[in-house]
Amino acid sequence: MNDLQEMGIKKMTDWNPLSCDPNSEYIDNYELKNIVYTNINKNNYCNFFLCLFMIIVIDMGMFKYCRNYYRKKIYNIFRKKTMYPKFGNVGFGFSFRNPKNIITIPEQLNLININDITNNINEIY
């Protein structure tokens, strides 16, 4: 969690109660591009981005297929226990971004090698 905070996680400022609670935190594409200016250990980039990708995908999957776990009446079932950050942007409202950017942006910036990510994913399976 310290590495996530190091990236500059932000609190939701514009909130849609159907998508997430006002206490949600989010990471946007711009923060991924600015990671080189953080104190995150560069040796951990591969694992950091893979873990970030996994928790974002889990959260988005729960939102998409088990949306009732996001409603206020039963809010504490999934969201309160995990409080995974969202991946998207706030502007005229919150919009989700494609989680593949969590891997592709650092790869384009030469921060990670896609082969290392692939090797780590293969270990998971």
Domain ranges of the chain: 2-124
Return the H-helix or E-strand segment holding 3: helix 2-6
Distance CA 84, CA 69 (A): 14
Pairing between β-strand 86-90 and β-strand 94-96 as defined by DSSP bridges: antiparallel
What pLDDT, on the 0 to 100 scale, is given for residue 117?
A: 87
Give 94's strand partners. Answer: 90
pLDDT tens column, 46-103: 888 898 899 899 888 887 887 776 665 555 677 777 778 888 877 676 778 899 999 9
What pLDDT, on the 0 to 100 scale, is given for residue 67?
A: 73
Distance CA 100, CA 110 (A): 16
